[in-house]
Chain A
């Protein structure tokens, strides 16, 4: 436990001083947003063993909703974020309501197909700007007092939200609710026979995961100032799976590590090798699935004998 606390302290310290280490703040914020997205995804895959193959739908829907609310409707930053989260939660309840009726690969295929519906709606609807997406989303300010235009201020805001979400997800996993989720992961028929309304627990987990994914998406829209089709696309859904697998699904820090690795790879490789990036991402996928199913953090935890969560 002590080693773990030390890891968290070091990571927190690094996150606090990161903007002063010469790292580009917008890039750091992108890392945080995708890490949050992966943590949200991990709540489903890692703790309930539900593989959602369309999580970009919630990430992207919220990015669009926040963008539309702040630019067209003139809402404030906080209201815009909350509106985006509400949109993705509703979407999560809707899609999850259909998907949780089936398990395993059926669940994966249903979430994938319904996410594709969201993609096509975003492509054709008026308010999303079609192929162009939404541009010039303002960052606004917090409570009308703290302007977020400054990259460093925005960074600390995003960091604060990220830490809050991270702690909250940890709390969920350790709560009685989280214990039931883990029971479902271990043996679903047994959980049913013990009298748990399994579908309701799974749907709640799904909606929570969709909401956090949405929060990540709406922050990403504010940070970069735009929401585009790639936010709702299937390749983004694939990336968040890879982040979680690579870092270690079912571990708290795994998705964070995985998101950092994948986003950094993409950022630096896409300039160097162009379309070969997707070959590299695909190859990492294959390696992960074949010989590295525990992921980075999962392997470390196994070596050092600390299982948590």
Chain B
């Protein structure tokens, strides 16, 4: 059996595939964060909580209302996205005039509320969500059996990221969005309803997080705390990619997932912190992030 640095090659490939799955979640989540940050200038601490709510929406939908996985993929992001719209309308909107750190603190409070409510209602233990019938089973890749569901997660995430990128970089709506990011007042003066656009953007970013949650539900245990430590990793991913950079968020999400997977083979103890260490190195070397513009 071939080895690299004394580690069997199949083990490395296996962890790389798992890392790619994790990276898909990072990419989806950091994309939403980057879109929100780009237009609103708000670091959405509640992103992990919305991811958790997305997974719970799918779980509750299945258990109580009998909504299957495919409908949950559509309905859960919609429901959680609407919640995001309400939060933007009621709270965030009033904080754009004050310093950006207040947006961070507000969303931190909202994350505490959401996690506390779900913990009170459902307890801290994880709930399992079945893999949909269509996606059960696995491919034999030779070095490992890849569950079809995980391949689907990567495919779905890359597709959604690609579509979002296209929407923002290549359509008229995206052009207005980017213009509003540069200079909101001027765009408003052209007769575009910027507050509405900001509200919808927040809702869309939140919906992306919820979508990641639904995708994650069959892979991991659905629990109220599933998003709270993930969100910090995703923050680091966004900082590495360059705050507000769409491409940066997607690419660094996927790549960091791979690097994390690799670390699990080479030096497992460091796999939890490797993303943060990379963040520190990137900040020293390129303070604006890999894809970010120096302001």
Contact = CB atoms under 8 A, between A and B. Distances in A.
B232 A112 contact: yes
B65 interface: no
Interface in B104-118: 104-106, 108-117
Contact of B108 (A104, A238, A279, A293): A238
B273 A120 contact: yes
Contacts of A211: none
Given A105-B100, A106-B243, A114-B280, A120 B106 contact: no
Contact of A286 (B110, B236, B272): B110
Contacts of A263: none
B192 interface: no
Interface of B: 43, 91, 94-95, 98-102, 104-106, 108-117, 119-120, 124, 228-229, 232-233, 235-236, 238-239, 243, 269, 272-273, 276-277, 279-280, 283-284, 287
Interface in A262-287: 274-286
Nearest to A282: B112
Contacts of A288: 105, 109
A98 B235 contact: no
A283 B115 CA distance: 12
A234 interface: yes
Contacts of A285: 105-106, 108-109, 112
A104 B102 CA distance: 10
Q: Which 5 A-B pairs have the closest CB atoms?
A: A285-B109, A282-B112, A278-B116, A279-B116, A282-B113
Contact of B95 (A102, A113, A277, A289): A289
Given A286-B113, A290-B91, 8 more contacts: A98-B280, A108-B104, A110-B283, A113-B239, A113-B280, A114-B280, A286-B110, A289-B109
A121 B283 CA distance: 21
B111 A282 contact: yes
A183 interface: no
A260 interface: no
Interface string A69-92: 000000000000000000000000
A277 B116 contact: yes
Contacts of B284: 98, 101
Nearest to B115: A278
Contacts of A289: 95, 102, 105-106, 109
A117 B101 contact: no
Contacts of A245: 105
A175 interface: no
Contacts of A283: 109, 113
B283 A275 contact: no
B273 A121 contact: yes
A98 to B, nearest CB: 5
A108 B269 contact: no
A116 B94 contact: no
A293 B243 CA distance: 26
A289 B102 CA distance: 6
Given A98-B283, A112-B235, A281 B112 contact: yes
Highest count of chain B CB atoms <10 Å: which of A123, A241, A286:
A286
A117 B273 CA distance: 6
Nearest to B124: A275
Contact of B120 (A108, A121, A275, A290): A275
A278 B106 CA distance: 14
A124 B272 CA distance: 10
A109 B113 contact: no
Contact of A102 (B236, B273, B287): B287
Contacts of A39: none
Contact of A116 (B91, B116, B229): B229
B287 A101 contact: yes
A281 B117 CA distance: 12
Interface in A236-267: 238, 241, 245
A98 B278 CA distance: 12
B239 A279 contact: no
A101 B284 CA distance: 8
12 contacts: A98-B283, A104-B100, A113-B276, A113-B279, A117-B273, A117-B277, A120-B272, A124-B269, A241-B105, A278-B113, A279-B113, A282-B112
Contacts of B236: 109, 113
Contact of A275 (B99, B116, B273, B276): B116
A278 B124 CA distance: 13
Highest count of chain A CB atoms <10 Å: which of B108, B110, B119, B229:
B108
Given A102-B283, A286-B110, A293 B102 contact: yes
A282 B109 CA distance: 4
A173 interface: no
Contacts of B243: 106
A289 B232 CA distance: 21
Nearest to B37: A105
Given A120-B273, A234-B232, A278-B115, A104 B101 contact: yes
A117 B98 CA distance: 31
Nearest to B91: A290
A277 B115 CA distance: 11
Contacts of A277: 116
A276 B116 contact: yes
